[in-house]
Structure formats: C-alpha cells, structure tokens
Structure 1
Amino acid sequence: MSAPTTRPDTTPATAPAATPAPAAPPGRVLVTGATGDVGTALVDELTRLGTPFRVLARRPGQVRGFTERGVDAVEGSFEDPAGLREALRGCEQLFLNTPPSPHQFRWNRDAVDAAVAAGVRHVVKVSASDANPRSAIPWARDHALADEHLRRSGLAHTVLRAGAFTKNLLVEAAAVRRGWLPQSSGHGATAWVDVADVAAVAARVLTDPAVRGGTGEDGRTYLLTGDRPLSYPEVAEVLTQVLGHRVRYLHVPAPLFHGVLRASGVPAWQARGLVHQFVDVVRRGHDGGRRCSDDVLDLLGRPARTVADFAREHRAELGAA
C-alpha cells in the first residue's frame, strides 16, 4: 500500500546535466530517494554496514550535505535519464524509490532503462502492497506497471511491496494530541509497516545475494507488513494505550475528506487517489490491502515493528500524557 502522506507532493524540477560521476568501486549501490523516509533510513543502514554506495540528490545543497557526511553524492533527478546513466556508472545495483507523482511510472521506467544501459546487475524497487494495473489510485497503478516493466527488463530484480507506512500517522499528530484520529476508512483494516523495516529489508537484499531475485519470472517479490492488519479504530485504541490519553476514531465522509485535502493544498490527482485508497482498499478491502506476511521476520530475524512500537518512539509528537 505504502500510501503517501496527505501533504502535497512537490514534483522535482528538471535538473541540469549531472556532474560526471567518478568511477565506482565494485559492488557499489546507487540509492535514489535518499532524502525520503525509506531512503534516509537506508543511507544510515548502508553506512553502518560499510556497504559502498552513492546517492542521487536533486539539489546542490543536498549533495553538499551528503558530501559533508562523507557520503558519495551526485546531482541528478528522475527527469534527467542521461544524468541517471552517469550516476549509475560503475554501480552494480540500483535502489529505486520514486515519490508519488503524476510522472511516477515514467520515472520508474526511465530509471530501469538507464540501469540496463549502464550495465547494472540488480535492482531493488520499492513498490506498494496494493499495486494493481487497473487501480484508480495513481501510485498503485503506476507501481504495478513499473514492476512489470522491471520484470521484462532482463535485469535481476527484487520488488519490495510495502504496506501502509506507520509514519503517515504523524500527518494527524495535531488531531491525535486533541484526542481524535480522523479518517474515511471506517472499520476496514490494512497492513502496516515501519519505514525502518523497509530500509532494513532493502539493506539485507542489497548486501546478501542469497535473498535477491533473478531475471524475469525468477525475480523475487517480498510483501513487507506487520503481523496483522489494523483498522483505524484499532489504531486509535493502540494510541490510547501507548500515549496515556484517550484517542477516538473520527469517521470523515469521503466527500469531506476530499475537500479537506484540497483545502490543505493537496493536488487534485493526489486527493482523488487518497480517497480511493482509504475507501476502496482500506474500508472495502480491495487489492489485498489487508494481506500480511512474515517476510520482515524471515529476512531480518526479528518481528516487524508494530504500530505500538511506532507510537512509543513518537510519543512527543503524538502528545503523550
């Protein structure tokens, strides 16, 4: 599922031609989306493991920030396929994580094609648990189409289909502090996953050939979720127990939810997609949004982080009593 937050998405501007990247040592990974939630955690994990990697950053200031931390970084964007190919020079693997956008399928497709042209051997792609080529949710549809393009690319690949990010609960932090958890999903349940677990699984796949996929139909897909689906009313109960103050689920009719999103600056395409996601996937259970798996446990050797774990970590933001 990996639903985006309800904050408006900023489409990257076309980047200038990237500065030529130095030759990379064998085994290096190019990390895209390095300033996002999953990418930030993955950079920390690969650094801890001592894995050679390079990050692709959209802005000069981001490049400087990474460089000052000792991280190899080059400037480029998904809008610049030539720059992507240059950034991939000498890299054996690509971690592909694109932000929600009307251009998301094209960005994924062009990045996969750039990886083929650059001689990359293996791609780890973040996808969505509700990916469906016929979905009314733009990112779910685009992920499904991009996953199929990757499968047909001839590259070895591993697809990480992530559930709903627990971090998205922080979008409602102000309401939670006042004792409410508003949403349009009713009692429909969905599978949740922590972004730190997605990053840890990505690091495992990038560093352990035994858990990677092959080409075509032999590519591997992992479903990354916690151990059970939770509805928003159930999440409200978890928050109540962890935070020490009463949090109640507040049902918001879909038209009102859409209006609130638009009034807060969410683009029309994204607002429509979020309504479909919470009404169709979560409330009505379409497209496997409730499915859970043991893939996080099997790959990491520990249970997946729970919504309660997340709430304990973010007690200050959510308003612990």
Structure 2
Amino acid sequence: MSTTLTPRPSSFARAGVQERALVIGATGAIGSALVQELLASGAAVRVMCRRPEQVRAFTERGVDAVQASFENGEALREALQDCPQLFLNTPVGPEQYEQNRLAIDAAVEVGVRHVVKVSASDANPHSAIPWARDHALADQYLERSGLAWTVLKASAFISNLLTEAAAIRRGWLPQTSGNGATAWVDTSDVAAVAARVLTDADVQGQTGENGRAYLLTGDRPLSYPEIAGILTATLGHRVRYVHLPAPAFYAGLRASGVPAWQARGLVHQFVDVVRRGQDGGRLCSSDIPDLLGRPAITVADFALKNRSELGRA
C-alpha cells in the first residue's frame, strides 16, 4: 500500500532541497522529460551524455552537460562531482546490469547521497526477461550500496504503442498477450515522479534507512483488446486486436530487425507477465496520484496527444 502525501500538482515547491542532480539517461523519453521538469522547478541539474553532439545540444539550451560513459570510470566520477543526487536510467541492452553497477560504484566513491533509479514493475532476479532480471539484480546492488535510494518500478510504457503506429493506422493491433492485462504507465508520469522525489525533502524523508520503492502504474489493468477499444473510441476509426501465437509474434519481431535476445524477452514479457499475470503483471498502485496530486495519464490521454501519428490521415 502506498502512503498518501500532500499533493503539489502545479510545481515542486521544495522544502529546502537545492542539491544538484546528475541525470543519466537524459536523452531518453523519461530523462528528457525529467530534465524539463527540473529546469522548470528551478532545480540544479547536470546531464551525462555519451556523444559530443549531445553535450552541445544541451549546452546550447543552457543545461550543464558533460561527456562520459559507464566504461570510463574517471569521466563518470568527474560527472558525479558536486552532485549529491543521481538519477539513473540505463538503456535496455546486454550490459544493463553492469552499467548500473558501475554507476552505483562511482556514486559511492564520490560521496553521492541519494540515487533515484528507474526499474521495472516485473523485476525478478530469476526472470527469463533480460531487462527484468537485470533491473532486479541492479536494485539489489543499489540496496546493498549504503546509499540512500529510491526505486521507481515502472509498469509497461504506453509509448510502446507507437511501435505499432503503422498497424494501428490500418485498423489492427497485433499482440500475443490475449486477454491478459497490465496497468500501463506514461513515461512523462515516471519523469514527474522522479522530479518530485529529487526535489522534495518531505518525500525524501519517507525513504528511511532502508530506502523506498514506488510502483508506477495506470489506474487499472488493461488488456490489448481493451486498448483496441479505447483507440477505436479515441481515434475515430476502428482498431481490432489481432492475436498472434507466440512463435508468429517472435518471427514478426525478428523480421522487423529486433535482436534475437530482445525478441525472446518480449515474448516472455507479453506471454508470462501480461497474459499469465506473473511477476505482478496485473498490480496497480496509487503512487502516481498520491505523489503528483492528479490522476495518472491514461491510454486515452496518450492516444489523443498522439492522434496525428496513430490516427488515419
């Protein structure tokens, strides 16, 4: 169960927290939205980028940006200097656990106080889904680090629907999850929660000695057939769910260029977690409205915002 906090829906009126945060993952959907939130609230922020052109783009916007990588320990530690807080969101990939470990080790070495890490609602150290397993192992590593920590366990991202935009425009929504349901979350809600956690002393005070995890979901589990109905009502053209057997779904992913390891993970995610409800696939939480003082963004909200991409011309 979540603990209800005093909502601050329009701004992050911080209770004396002025600590600079380093944002790792600033070019991704969550990280870029988080940077906007922090800048709008007047918080001090630095971003870490891999490529010089990314550094230039942030610098031209007046954002403190440094070039570093997980593999370059010296540059990583330098990026963390004078940043008592770290926002950590690593990309999905075979090196995800190792990248998290290197960032956490660097944070310990330079004296970072608090780490806010993006994780997954289905994180499980024994999962057949590589990113769910890596998130769980990295969460455990962070918990043992001695740092103050907050873990944001995000459910399935609504933005994944954009990968099916071409099919949705043609009126169908292919998947292998059947009538299984999960509580979808918008990446901008994850960013807004991260901003509040990084800038609000009241929230940070609730982490306690053992840290704090938030489960970030929509207001109710939705199946793909239900999502197809929402898209139909929102976009103004019929969208039908098309069930694909798992082997056909895998073959379609591979044909579209998805690497084999990732395609296998996606099959497990949509069959085991969504269709069968394993690893908390159907869990819902009120953490987003409790923290933000407003409802979580819905699939219908997302579809309206992205109607130009999802709707027919």
CA–CA distance in structure 1, aligned partners of residues 290 and 238 of structure 2: 35
Per the alignment, residue 257 of structure 1 pairs with 249
Aligned twin of 1:84 = 76
* Corresponding position of 1:274: 266
Partner residue, 2:213: 221
Alpha-carbon contact 1:155-1:215 (below 8 Å) kept: no
Could you say which residue in structure 2 is the equivalent of 1:29? 21
Aligned-pair identity (%): 72
- Superposed displacement of residue 265, structure 1: 1.3
Deviations 1:224-254 (A, max 9, x none): 0111000000000000000010000011111
Q: What do the CA deviations read for 1:156-188 (whole angstroms, capped 9, x no partner)?
A: 000000011111100000000000010110000
Structure 2 counterparts to residues 72-111 of structure 1, below 5 A: 72-111=64-103
What are the Cα deviations for residues 125-183 of structure 1, in whole angstroms up to 9, with x where unaligned? 00000000000000000000000000000000000000111111000000000000101
Tell me if the contact between 2:170 and 2:312 (Cα under 8 Å) persists in the aligned partners.
no
**Following the alignment from structure 1 to structure 2, what is the Cα–Cα distance between the partners of residues 181 and 54?**
39
Does residue 276 of structure 2 align to residue 284 of structure 1?
A: yes
Q: Which residue identity lines up with residue 107 of structure 2 in the other structure?
A: A
Counterpart of 1:156?
Answer: 148
Q: 1:72 to 1:46 in 2, by over 3 A?
A: same
Shift of 1:210: 1.7
Q: Which residue of 1 aligns with 2:105?
A: 113
User: Which whole-Å CA distance do the structure 1 matches of 2:232 and 2:255 have between them?
Assistant: 29
Q: Conserved in 2, the CA contact under 8 Å of 1:130 and 1:289?
A: yes
RMSD between aligned residues: 1.1
* CA shift for structure 1 position 79: 2.3
Q: CA deviation at 1:261?
A: 1.1
Question: How much does 1:306 deviate?
Answer: 0.4
User: How many residue pairs align between the two structures?
Assistant: 295
Tell me which amino acid in the other structure corresponds to 2:79. Answer: A
Q: Secondary structure at the match of 2:253?
A: helix
Q: Does 1:172 align with 2:137?
A: no
* Contact 2:21 2:87 survives alignment (8 Å): yes
1:104-253 map, 5 Å: 104-212=96-204, 214=207, 218-253=210-245
Q: CA deviation at 1:198?
A: 0.3
The 8 Å contact of residues 20 and 82 in structure 2, kept in 1 or not, is answered as: yes
1:42 matched to which residue of 2? 34
Say if 2:289 is the partner of 1:304: no
Amino acid at match of 1:196: S
**What is the distance in 2 between the residues matched to 1:104 and 1:45?**
25
Which of residues 304, 308, 311 in structure 2 aligns to 1:316? 308
Q: SS of 1:34's equivalent?
A: coil
CA contact (8 A) 1:184 1:279 kept: yes
How far does residue 214 in structure 1 lie from its aligned partner after superposition? 4.2
SS of equivalent residue, structure 1 residue 292 = coil
Post-superposition shift, 1:75? 0.4
Shift of residue 320, structure 1, vs aligned partner: 4.8
Secondary structure of 1:142's counterpart equals helix
User: Structure 2, unaligned stretches of length 5 or more?
Assistant: 1-17
Task: Give, as a single letter, the amino acid of the residue that structure 2 aligns with 1:252.
Answer: L
CA distance, structure 2, for counterparts of residue 88 and residue 138 of structure 1 = 28
In the TM superposition, residue 82 of structure 1 has moved relative to its aligned partner by: 2.2
TM-score (norm. length: structure 2): 0.92
Please tell me the residue identity of whatever aligns with 2:156: A
The whole-number CA distance in structure 2 between the counterparts of 1:258 and 1:54 is: 39
| 2:8 paired residue number | none
Q: Specify the SS of the correspondent of 1:172.
A: helix
SS across alignment from 1:164? coil
Structure 1: stretches of 5+ with no match in the other structure: 1-25
C-alpha displacement of 1:80: 2.0
